[in-house]
């Protein structure tokens, strides 16, 4: 029998350790970059106060190579390698048109409803880990149902509990074409509070999931006949300063990975008119190619816009020397006013708008998977 006094002592010790851990977390310092060459050392609370004030940044605490001032040899080498010539026109229209016909708003509605029902996807929370586990499970099911024996999905672990998820569809070379979205959410008033994140970025998470499902239905993709390897990334901890994508792209840089193109889908669900093609801190040649894909495969067109430094995970790819692009739901000033609140729910999301983004992702991925760079 365990004595009551011992139980009380153990409980008191556990409580004291928990308090100490919370205090340590509150006092931990982070180095963030708010603009090229503009860095600041902040606490966790100060970091999220900046986000609440509309300030975006990259947390470079563990990734000095991603700082804009870095002269890392790997980064410099990647910048040279990243000079890619993209196709001047679409060459896979028949295949892409057939895949687009398979995209389903019903599928996206079901998945997004479940995903946004998670209490919060805050990257340091238990339910944040539940969210990454859910994405992993869903992507495993998509791969299994496709019968694509070469495709795989793995979690990518970080220093925090939530994991990023990376799905790989091998091609004939190790050159990578990457589609990304972030899977975490945040409540700007209370970061551990209810945060549905239906649009930010549940919409992007589900959009690229649906596109991946359609792409894997293509016999050539499933058989690994693409010229390049296709990857789908779901990033953890974006709201904390692009934490998940920074870990991944810094690792890719260290490993000498050959990334030919990266497209980010962060907020695809609020009907803000034509798609917003981000023009700042992206690769201009890749962005020009994105314009062509939108014109060829979607119906709502685009408007060029800007979102500032470190506004989403494409910035981690850019910082690592890789060509990136970012398409959001509309002109940046017209995007959803409900993000980072308890009101970022299914009721604010247009499934038809998400469908247009899924068309973009499908066309972008297929064309570049079979492109010769």
Place of tokens 């604010």: 348
Contact (CB, 8 A) for 68 and 319: yes
Both tokens of 296, joined, read 């060829």
Domain boundaries, the chain: 17-66, 84-369
Instruction: Enter the pTM of the model.
Output: 0.92
In angstroms, rounded to a whole number, what is the distance separating the alpha carbons of residues 97 and 296?
10
pLDDT in tens, 282-313: 999 999 999 999 999 999 999 999 999 999 99
Contact (CB, 8 A) for 248 and 316: yes
pLDDT in tens, 309-353: 999 999 999 999 999 999 999 999 999 999 999 999 999 999 999
Nearest one of 373, 371, 372 to 92, comparing CA atoms: 371
Place of tokens 């205090």: 23
pLDDT in tens, 206-227: 999 999 999 999 999 999 999 9
In the prediction, which pLDDT does 22 show? 46
Q: Picking from 10-24, 57-71, 164-178, which range would have the lowest pLDDT averaged per residue?
A: 10-24
3-class secondary-structure state, position 157: coil
CATH architecture, domain 84-369: 3-Layer(aba) Sandwich (3.40)
In the prediction, which pLDDT does 27 show? 80
pLDDT in tens, 14-38: 444 444 444 555 689 999 999 998 9
Taking the alpha carbons of 124, 180, 99, 226 in that order, is the dihedral positive or negative?
A: negative
pLDDT in tens, 138-151: 999 999 999 998 99
Contact (CB, 8 A) for 194 and 342: yes
Nearest one of 337, 357, 352, 346 to 116, comparing CA atoms: 346
For residue 155, pLDDT over 80 is answered with: yes
Contact (CB, 8 A) for 57 and 32: yes
């Amino acid at each position: 029998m365990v004595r009551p006094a011992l139980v009380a002592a153990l409980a008191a010790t556990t409580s004291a350790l928990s308090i100490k851990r919370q205090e340590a977390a509150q006092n931990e310092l982070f180095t963030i970059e708010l603009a090229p060459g503009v860095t600041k050392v902040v606490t966790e609370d100060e970091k999220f106060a900046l986000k609440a004030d509309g300030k975006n940044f990259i947390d470079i605490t563990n990734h000095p190579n991603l700082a804009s001032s870095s002269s890392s040899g790997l980064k410099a080498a990647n910048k040279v390698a990243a000079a890619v010539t993209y196709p001047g026109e679409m060459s896979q229209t028949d295949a892409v048109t057939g895949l687009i016909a398979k995209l389903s708003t019903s599928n996206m509605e079901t998945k997004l409803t479940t995903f946004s029902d998670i209490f919060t996807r805050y990257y340091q929370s238990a339910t944040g880990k539940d969210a990454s586990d859910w994405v992993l499970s869903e992507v495993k099911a998509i791969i299994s149902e496709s019968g694509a024996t070469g495709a795989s999905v793995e979690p990518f672990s970080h220093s925090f509990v939530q994991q990023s998820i990376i799905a790989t569809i091998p091609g004939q070379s190790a050159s990578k074409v990457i589609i990304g979205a972030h899977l975490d959410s945040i409540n700007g008033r209370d970061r551990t509070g209810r945060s549905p994140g239906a649009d930010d970025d549940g919409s992007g998470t589900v959009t690229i999931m649906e596109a991946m499902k359609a792409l894997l239905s293509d016999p050539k993709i499933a058989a690994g006949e693409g010229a390049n390897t296709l990857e789908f990334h779901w990033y953890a901890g974006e709201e904390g300063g692009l934490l998940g994508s920074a870990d991944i792209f810094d690792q890719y840089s260290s490993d000498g990975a050959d990334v030919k193109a990266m497209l980010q889908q962060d907020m695809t669900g609020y009907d803000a008119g034509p798609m917003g093609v981000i023009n700042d801190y992206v690769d201009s040649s890749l962005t020009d190619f994105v314009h062509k894909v939108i014109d060829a495969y979607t119906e709502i067109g685009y408007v060029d816009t800007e979102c500032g430094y470190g506004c989403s995970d494409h910035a981690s790819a850019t910082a690592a020397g890789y060509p990136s692009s970012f398409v959001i739901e509309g002109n940046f000033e017209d995007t959803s006013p409900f993000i980072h609140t308890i009101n970022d729910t299914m009721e604010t999301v247009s499934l038809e708008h998400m469908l247009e983004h899924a068309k973009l992702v499908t066309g972008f991925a297929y064309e570049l998977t079979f492109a010769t760079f």
